[in-house]
Copies of this chain bind each other. A is one copy, B any other.
């Protein structure tokens, strides 16, 4: 079975996010001062071949922990969908 995972890897909330801060400041120059609390992270989308959703989830967990995120600075969240083709 083919699954699709949509993963967000974001800077931990307690940490400053300098990239987000820079974007937030630039918003003011675009007359968008109503926008704040900007935080920027990564979005990863991938396909998984697995026998069931549980197995797919395990694989995504391993990928997030070992490769996609740095747990000292980032947290991750994801959703898994059945891929219909």
Contact = CB atoms under 8 A, between A and B. Distances in A.
Nearest to A43: B43
The number of chain A residues touching the other chain, given as a range, is 20 to 34
A59 B40 contact: no
Given A8-B43, A42-B41, A46-B35, A23 B66 contact: no
Copies of this polypeptide in the complex: 2
A73 B30 CA distance: 22
Contact of A63 (B35, B46, B62): B35
A84 interface: no
A47 B37 contact: yes
Contacts of A68: 23
A57 to B, nearest CB: 12
| Nearest 4 pairs of A and B residues by beta carbon | A43-B43, A37-B47, A34-B49, A38-B46
